[in-house]
Amino acid sequence: MPWPVDPQGPLARSIADLYWLMFGAAVIVLAIVVGALVVAGIRFRERPGHQARQYHGNNVLELIWTVVPTLMVISFSVLSFQRLALVNDVDSGAAMTVQAEGKQWVWNFQYPSDPKFKLSDGTYLKAAEELHIPAGQKVKIELSSVDVIHAFYLPSLGGQKDAVPGRATAMWIQADRPGTYNGQCAEFCGTGHADMLITVVAQNPADYAAWQAAAVKQANLFNDPAVAQGKQLFTSLACAGCHTVQGLTGGKVGPELTHIMSQKTPIGGVAGLDVNEANLIKWVSNAPSNKPGTLMPVFSNKAGGPLDDATILAIVKFLETLK
Amino acid sequence: MAAIDTPFPVTRPRYTGILEWVTTVDHKRIGALYLWTTFFFFVTGGLLALALRAQLATPDGQILNAEAYNAAFTMHGTTMIFLFVVPVWTGFANYIIPLQIGARDMAFPKLNALSYWLLLSGGIILYSALLVGPPASGWTSYVPLSTLPYSPSHGQDLWLLSLTVLGFSSIFGALNMIVTIFALRAPGMTFSRITLFTWSVLVTSFLLVLAIPFLTVAGVLLLFDRLAGLSFFATSEGSDPLLWQFLFWFFGHPEVYIMVLPGFGVVSEILPVFSRKPIFGYKMIAYSSVAIGFLSFSVFVHHMFVAGVDETLQVFFMISTMLIAVPTGVKIFSWLGTIWHGSLRFKTPMLFALGFIATFTIGGISGVFLGAVPEDVQLSDTYYVVAHIHYVLFGGAVMTVFAAMYYWIPKMSGRMLNERLGQINFLTIFVAMNLTFFPQHELGIEGMPRRIFHYPQSPEWGTLNLISTIGAFLIAVGVAIFLWNFFTSVILGKGKPAGDDPWEADTLEWATTSPPPVYNFPRIPVVHSARPLKEDQPHT
């Protein structure tokens, strides 16, 4: 366990350094106060033959304990001020800029308008909850919110900043080494606040390029006309209300489908119902006939549901892209 | 101490029994009503805290769901701040200040009664929200979360209404206190002779009168938004969400000093009495109260360092925030100067006062960390902040409330509280509060945000949270010991008779009987020094 939080970037390290400096001074002050309490408690306890000395003050002492703390807080202010530029300079030297949009209760990321992130429909890569950054490089995060105030908080990479509706705020993060760094929304934002998590994956250049290509390819799959129709249906029909596909939908009732095609267990946990096109069609058409009691309703119009075969096939074609 | 004869009306109450209490305008009765009511809310808010801590004892607790947890911490914070810590001091001030300055009542007795009944009304309004769906946007109720689209429950309306009513209660009480202290001091009771408790209540009263209106205005505007469809805080209409924060914290930071300054005053009373010495640096303590009062209005933006305020504001408010540590430090060192070379009697009020010096110092120090912008960027909205405010409000305010209870209940009831139980009471509370709140510093450093109802993704926070929860239940044991002590010593009357001056103190409240008679003093005393009861004794 890192104790305390292990600073993993230059900003977090600078914050931690100042913390320990101030901590040293704090321990001394506390030791003086508690030490004086203990010593006085022993030396000046009431006992036979001991008399209190009667006086009202001491100008020299009073001057000392006004001036010394003043000097201390001035030096803390100066030390903090020196680091303020590091905290607030979000722009200079930033390798890339990512927009993070807070929304009850998920963070949506928009990667920069860089050809490497360009998708076949002319937009640029988007993602939710998980952000990939190149290790060892400064990344600017532009924050916004579509509803209430949120705060983007990554304790090991560089603190936090509020995402305020109607205001543009920004912060920066940098991870020294490849790795996965966790954080979450820090400003109370309603019922789902505790689960508004952030995962940052820092990668070295080769891995980052590989991820980038794979992510763009994956996103482009959605833009394939056959798939695009299914995607549109998936997000607009009842599916979205129950299932999460990261970057698209956030339903929590049914299982998450972001990587359904990579799933080892059979659909719905029903033995023999391995994940493939035929079984997906069977499941989506009439889930209760495969697993009595499931919350997922009947969708095929042959069994009294609302959707025809073509629609179900389009949705399954889309699901098949989720690897 | 001499006295002047002034005839005073010996009245007979028009009513008896409960009606006597309902119609009373006697400052001592009203003070007692305040203390009963606020202690009731202290217990209520404490039970809510136990529910919160029970939920957090494990990473994925199942005691409260998200909605219940959010409502519980909102009600806990609101109850403790607005229905306990602020008005409990009004209660003590009501009872004690007229006695300490040699007055027969408050300047406006009927307004005084109105203040109390508004307090009770505010409490009833707040808790009536439980019937319609409790408020759940925190005691700070930031917009837009607290606006109609995101908090549709009428509980939020009742929260706002309650705070407005409580605000008027505080303003009336504070105006009354200011006039009383300025106009009703006994002959010879100059401003360099009034007690330090009186000084701190005077500064607190000015803070209340100047700060509360900002909360009231913000609250009423938000109420208009919610009930009349106006859009002062509607971000969809272009309102800046920081407007609420500026108004709220312009009230909210002086509010912190409103809650702790009277406690400073109590400690400045108790330490000299139990050290058998005069207070060290009377003037510096009084001046530092005034300095804290002024500075408290110029630090509030430190609550918004990560909300996107620009660097100039960050720098100004960082420096002013750190500077407030100076007058606070002066007080702490003056208290140490008071006990040094004393002859210390470790009675329960003294134990709580000494314990307070240690716990409040920790709260003051962590405040300096949070005032430094780069540290605040890391620690804001984490459990570090929760630890800090509880070291200030529990370590600062609640410890001194207990000190004041043990110190003045003999005066109010005529009975001493049991000393042995008092010592156990102190030890339990002192250990328990450190057990509860100290680990929260580390949780904040590790990145645990406040106001989350579970943390299944970070089970490594479980151990410290469990320790904190155990501490919280131990605090409850401490409070139960106090209630038992009060019940047996005062209600059952088993406590020793207090007499006029059980602590051998030297301020005016100890010159009259315990409990004091109606109108306090048969003859208004004439005062010649800051220690009127010690005037016959030689001192340097």
Residues A198 and A150 in one domain: yes
Q: At what angle do helices B419-445 and B462-486 cross, to 10 degrees?
A: 160
Best of A78, A164, A180, A200 to mutate (most B CBs within 10 Å, chain B): A164
Determine if the peptide bond prior to B213 is cis (ω within 30°): no
pLDDT confidence bin for B529, thresholds 50/70/90: confident
Q: What gap in Å lies between CA A258 and CA A250, rounded to an integer? A: 10
Whether residue A248 contacts residue A234, with contact meaning beta carbons closer than 8 Å, is answered with yes
Read off the amino acid at residue A255.
Answer: P
- Average pLDDT estimate for A37-56: 94
Range with the lowest mean pLDDT among A34-38, A79-83, A264-268, B468-472? A264-268
Q: Quick check: is B430 in a domain?
A: yes
Contact A187 B381 (CB under 8 A): yes
Other residues' Cβ atoms within 10 Å of the Cβ of residue B291: 18
Residues of A within 8 A of B275 (CB-CB) are: 44, 52
A71 and A138 together in one domain: no
- Indicate the average pLDDT of chain B: 94
C-beta separation of B489 from B412 below 8 A: no
- Is residue A279 assigned to a domain? yes
CB atoms within 10 A of CB A227: 19
Question: Comparing A27-41, A82-96, B4-18, which segment has the lowest mean pLDDT?
Answer: B4-18
Mutation for A interface: B345, B368, B369, most A CBs within 10 A? B368
CA dihedral B308, B309, B314, B320 (to 10 degrees): -130
pLDDT tens digits, residue range B85-104?
999 999 999 999 999 999 99
Per residue in B353-394, pLDDT (tens digit) is 999 999 999 999 999 999 999 999 999 999 999 999 999 999
Residue B438: closest CA among B457, B465, B412, B462: B465
Residue B209 burial by CB count (10 A; 0-12/13-18/19+): exposed, middle or buried? middle
Report which residue type is found at B92: F
- Chain B partners of A160 at a C-beta cutoff of 8 Å? 306, 377-378, 380-381
Answer whether A188 sits within 8 Å of B138, measured CB to CB: yes
List chain A residues with CB under 8 Å of B315.
81, 84
Neighbours of A78 (CB within 10 A): 10
Q: Which domain holds residue B187?
A: 2-534
Higher pLDDT, B267 or A217: B267
Distance CA B105, CA B368 (A): 41
Question: Are A83 and A152 within one domain?
Answer: no
- Residues with Cβ within 8 Å of B114's Cβ and at least 6 positions away in sequence, in order, are B172
**Tokens standing for residue B120:** 């009770």
Record: contact B451-A183, CB cut-off 8 A:
no
CB–CB contact B342 A147 (8 Å): no
Residue A4: pLDDT over 60: no
Determine, for residues A69 and B329 on separate chains, whether the beta-carbon distance falls below 8 Å: yes
How far apart, in whole angstroms, are the C-alpha atoms of residue B516 and residue B414?
9
What is the domain count for chain A?
Answer: 3
Report CB contact under 8 Å: B279, A56: yes
Residues forming beta bridges with residue A200, ordered by sequence position: A131, A181
Share of chain B above pLDDT 70, in %: 96
Distance from CA of A75 to the nearest CA of B (A): 10
> Do A130 and A108 lie in a common domain?
yes
The answer to whether the CB atoms of B381 and A29 lie below 8 A apart is no
Residues A104 and A196 in one domain: yes
Confidence check: pLDDT of B424 > 80: yes
Place of tokens 């009831």: B413
CB within 8 Å: B344 and A44:
yes
- Tell me, yes or no, whether A46 and A113 share the same domain: no
E strand spans, B473-530: 524-526
Q: Which of A38, A72, A88 is the last residue of a domain?
A: A88
- Measure B23 CA to nearest chain A CA, in Å: 43
- For every residue of A38-92, DSSP letters joined together read HHHHHHTB--TT---------HHHHHHHHHHHHHHHHHHHHHHHHHHHHHH--ST
Does residue B351 form part of some domain?
yes
What are the catalytic residues of B? 76, 105, 139, 169-170, 253, 255, 257, 268, 302-303, 328, 331, 450
- For residue A79, the chain B residues in CB contact (below 8 A) are 372
- Residues A313, A233: contact at Cβ < 8 Å? no
For position A233, which CATH number holds? 2.60.40.420
**For A101-141, what is each residue's pLDDT tens digit?**
999 999 999 999 999 999 988 999 998 889 999 999 999 99
CATH number at residue B144: 1.20.210.10
Judge if A45 and A157 occupy the same domain. Answer: no
Residue among A40, A57, A84 minimizing CB distance to B339 = A40
In a domain, A260, yes or no: yes
Residue A182 located in a structural domain: yes
Cβ atoms A278, A321 nearer than 8 A: no
Distance from CA of B280 to the nearest CA of A (A): 5
In the listed set A72, A88, A104, which residue is the last one of a domain according to the structure?
Answer: A88
Q: B242, B302, B311, B340: which to substitute to probe chain A, counting the most A Cβ within 10 Å?
A: B340
Tell me how close the Cα of A15 comes to any Cα of chain B, in angstroms.
Answer: 6
Residue A232 counted as domain residue:
yes
DSSP E strands: which ranges in chain A?
94-103, 106-110, 126-128, 130-134, 138-145, 150-154, 159-163, 169-173, 179-184, 197-203, 244-245, 249-250
By CB atoms closer than 10 A (0-12, 13-18, 19+), residue B6 is: exposed
**How many CB atoms within 10 Å of residue A42?**
9
- For residue B540, what pLDDT band results from cuts at 50, 70 and 90? very low
Q: What is the DSSP letter of A262?
A: G
- H helix or E strand, kind and range, residue B374: helix B373-379
- Contact indicator for B435, B471 with CB cutoff of 8 Å: yes
> Looking at CA atoms only, how far is residue A247 from chain B in angstroms?
20
Domain that holds residue A35: 10-88
Closest to B210 (Cα-Cα) out of B97, B288, B294: B294
Cα(B74)–Cα(B297) distance, integer angstroms = 25
Q: Which residue in the set B377, B442, B451 is minimally distant from A87, CB to CB? A: B377
Q: Is residue A3 part of a domain?
A: no
pLDDT > 50? residue B538: no
Q: Which of B276, B266, B350, B285 is nearest to B96 (CA)?
A: B266
Q: Tell me whether residue B31 is in a domain.
A: yes
A102 and A210 share a domain?
Answer: yes
Does residue A121 or residue A148 have the better pLDDT? A148
Question: Which of A161, A195, A221 delimits the end of a domain?
Answer: A221
The ipTM (two decimal places) reads 0.92
Give the pLDDT confidence of B429-452 residue by residue, as tens digits. Answer: 999 999 999 999 999 999 999 999
* Mean pLDDT (chain A, rounded): 90
Q: Who contacts B29 (Cβ-Cβ below 8 Å, separation ≥6)?
A: B21
Best of A33, A42, A51, A154 to substitute, by most chain B Cβ atoms within 10 angstroms, is A33
HSE-CB for A241 with a 13 A CA cutoff: 6
Is residue B539 in some structural domain? Answer: no
Within a domain: A15:
yes
In-domain check, residue A4: no
Asked if residue B487 belongs to a domain, the reply is: yes
Helix (H) or strand (E) holding B4: strand B2-4
For chain B, how many structural domains are there in total? 1
Residue B468 CB partners (closer than 8 Å, separation 6+) = B53, B56, B435, B436, B437, B439, B440, B443
Classify residue A1: in a domain, yes or no: no
> Would you say B271 and B282 are in contact if contact means Cβ atoms under 8 Å apart?
no
Q: Assess if residue B217 is contained within a domain.
A: yes
Q: Report how far residue A151's alpha carbon sits from residue A162's, in angstroms, rounded to the nearest whole number.
A: 4
Are B110 and B143 contacting, i.e. CB atoms less than 8 angstroms apart? Answer: no
Q: Is B193 a member of any domain?
A: yes
Q: Angle CA(A255)–CA(A258)–CA(A259) in degrees, nearest 5?
A: 100
Residue B150 CB-density burial (10 A; 0-12 exposed, 13-18 middle, 19+ buried): middle
Backbone angles phi, psi at A175, to 5 degrees: -110, 130
A188·B240 Cβ contact <8 A: no
- Is there a single domain that holds both residue A102 and residue A216? yes
CATH number at residue A66: 1.10.287.90
Closest CA to A170 of A80, A83, A101, A112: A101
Rounded distance, CA B35 to CA B408, Å? Answer: 12
Q: pTM of the entire structure? A: 0.90
Per-residue pLDDT for B13 more than 80? no
The pLDDT tens digits of the residues spanning B284-297 come to 999 999 999 999 99
Tell whether the model's pLDDT for residue B10 goes beyond 70. Answer: no
Beta carbons of B136 and B158 less than 8 angstroms apart: no
